[in-house]
Amino acid sequence: MESQNKLEQPELVMRNQQEDEIDLVELFYLLWGHMLQIIACVIVGGAAAFAYTYFMVTPLYQTASKMYVASATYNSVVDIYDMQLGSQLALDYQQLILSRPLMEDVAEALELDLEPAGIASMVSVNNPEDTRIIEITVTCPDPQLAADLANEIAYQASVHLPRIMESPAPNIYEDALVPKQKSSPSYSRNTLLGAMALAVVYCGILVVRYLMDDSFTTPEEVNRCFGVQPLAVIPEGNLESRRSKHAQEKGNNRTGPTDMGAKE
């Protein structure tokens, strides 16, 4: 008995492991069987994302002006200290350009009815690594306003910030141009993301329903889980309707010959 129990224990462990494993082949056929619904989700999700992007999302335009932070000294020979000090000045400019007084001067110069915080929210200042270059990028729904803001901010920075920092004025070497193409949104990317998102959600629902379903649909599943081969399979159906139909057919067969004899 002990030896038999020892033999049965590994079998039970193997069956439990098989029960915990996910049959990838069955999952593949499950998704393959719903391929038409998945394709429909891709089409519907892509169309919905495209429509939302086209009708609801405001297109934005982006442009930038660039400045070069001059050396701290006016000597023709620039040493390592000047390079380091110039890089530090670039970091200071990066912070001071978004200050409230400078944004107020920009709004006054362009006669804009905007708060300084509203203008600053459209501006990003970047200092590329190991350079003394300041990039002033403006993102705005109006392409002309974006170019005007970028150029005016660069001008105001070159005028006011050297007085505050007591340093040489930066040189504006590239003016912002009016952008002709919008920077966002991307119709293709949003359409693709919408199509994939709805398809993934639908596939996730199918997989969750498959994993939560612990019923047996084939004799092979019973044999795999319990190690017992079913002796018979009872088909599902409406037995009452089948019985009434069978009784009606049997009654017709009985009354058929008498009706024929009466006619003769």
Q: What is the mean pLDDT of residues 231-254?
A: 63
**What are the chain's domains?**
15-53+189-218 (no CATH), 61-174 (3.30.70.1130)
Each residue of 181-203: pLDDT tens digit? 998 889 999 999 999 999 999 99
CA–CA dist 61, 138 (Å, integer): 8
String of DSSP letters for 31-65: HHHTHHHHHHHHHHHHHHHHHHHHHHSPPBEEEEE
The whole-number pLDDT of residue 39 equals 95
The top-scoring range by mean pLDDT among 2-6, 33-37, 126-130, 234-238 is: 33-37
CA–CA dist 36, 48 (Å, integer): 18
Q: Is the pLDDT confidence value at 3 over 60? A: no
Return the CA Rg of the chain.
38
Helix (H) or strand (E) holding 207: helix 187-212
Q: What is the mean pLDDT of residues 149-169?
A: 87
Q: What is the mean pLDDT of residues 168-193?
A: 90
Each residue of 72-105: pLDDT tens digit? 554 444 444 454 545 566 777 778 888 999 999 9
The whole-number pLDDT of residue 222 equals 66
Phi-psi region of 111 (alpha: psi -120 to 50; beta: other; left: phi over 0): left
